[in-house]
Amino acid sequence: MGSLSPEQVEHYLEHGYVVVPGVLGPDEVERYRAQARKIALGDVPEEASKRLVRDIAFARGHVPLPDDPEHALWKILNPDRFDPVMAECLSFPRVLDAVSSLIGEDILAFLLMFIYKPPELPQTVHPFHQDAVFFPFEPQSSCVGVWIPLDPVSEANGTLSIIPGSHKLEIQPHETREGINFGAVAARDIEGNEAHHREAVPMEMEPGECLLFNTRLLHRSGGNSTKNHRRVITLHMASARCRSRGQSLSEYGFTLVRGRTHEGCLQPLESPPLELYNALKKD
């Protein structure tokens, strides 16, 4: 039995998202902020060092590197693969309880990222996209995005903006664009269209709240014009009854976090790679 009320489930099905309050307490929020900082300052195995990804403004030298390396980071990709504290983020009990209301009790977690918006970098935009474009398995409705801010988030510091109901659209054509972070893609006719920007709702959330969203939901994030970090934990969860569409899935490194696996369906990977390969285009 999941923890969401029938009204919350109905909201998710109709609008493509639901906010779950208080999945992490203040001590837990601080624990993961502090651990990310340790990693950002260099506590990372050599093979995994490419999993610390700088914002393009610093990577391309458009903005001088700050003294504090954490201030240049865009994200830490799959920290669960080399850091046991970060691995805890795959299975927060309150998140699993809520997600099981949406996709059932057999759950695989994958693609954990710790994402920053560097302070005072208003140009850092992650354009409108649908995460499902990256995920070669089905049904897509059995896959949920999980987004947990560790700082108060609003439009000023680059929160996630979503287009309610857009999960009912088909997957849109996506393309890379100049000037956005390496590997990020934009939904072609959506990012450039003012009408879609007007429909978008910036999620104002507190640290430790959780946004659950359908992986077809169109979403984007803007830049951070404040002096402080904007840090989030994000990951995805898929039903262990999902099936591959045939492509190699090894880079996803699924972890069984609740229930059991099913024959012929997605399977957990014993030791997902530490090195970063190009197989995974999701950024």
Ligand X SMILES: O=C(O)CCC(=O)C(=O)O
Give the binding site for ligand X (CB under 6 A). Answer: 115, 126, 131, 160, 219, 221, 232, 234
**Closest approach of ligand X to the CB of residue 53, in Å:** 12
Q: How far apart are CA 80 and CA 36, in angstroms?
A: 11
Find out whether the peptide bond into 139 is cis, omega within 30 degrees of 0. Answer: yes
Closer to ligand X at the Cβ: 106 or 162?
A: 162
Closer to ligand X at the Cβ: 5 or 193? 193
State in angstroms the smallest separation of the CB of 33 from ligand X: 15
CA–CA–CA angle 127, 234, 140 (5° rounding): 75
Contact 84, 31 (CB under 8 A): no
Strand partners, 206: none
Which residue's CB comes closest to ligand X? 221
In the bound state with ligand X, the residue whose beta carbon lies nearer, of 44 and 217, is: 217
User: What is the smallest separation between the CB atom of 234 and ligand X, expressed in angstroms?
Assistant: 6
Closest contact distance (angstroms) between CB of 138 and ligand X is 19
**Of residues 133 and 249, the one with the C-beta less far from ligand X:** 133
The DSSP bridge pattern shows strands 160-162 and 201-202 to be antiparallel
> Which residue, 232 or 249, is less far from ligand X as judged by CB?
232
Give the nearest distance from C-beta 5 to ligand X in angstroms: 26
2 or 202: CB nearest ligand X: 202
Which stretches of 58-142 are assigned E, i.e. beta strand? 73-77, 107-117, 126-129, 137-138
Residues facing residue 237 across a β-bridge: 109, 144
101 vs 181, beta carbon nearer ligand X: 181
Question: What minimum distance in Å lies between the beta carbon of 3 and ligand X?
Answer: 24
The smaller minimum CB distance to ligand X, of residues 106 and 282, is found at 282
CB 266 within 8 A of CB 254: yes
Specify whether the backbone of 158 is left (phi greater than 0), alpha (psi in -120 to 50) or beta. left
- How would DSSP label each residue in 6-50? HHHHHHHHHHSEEEES-SS-HHHHHHHHHHHHHHHTT-S-GGGGG
Q: First-to-last CA distance in the chain?
A: 33
In angstroms, the CA 188 to CA 172 distance is 7
For the bound state, the minimum distance from the C-beta of residue 160 to ligand X, rounded and expressed in Å, comes to 6
DSSP 65: P
Shortest reach from residue 169's CB to ligand X, in Å: 16
What's the distance, CA 224 to chain centroid?
A: 17
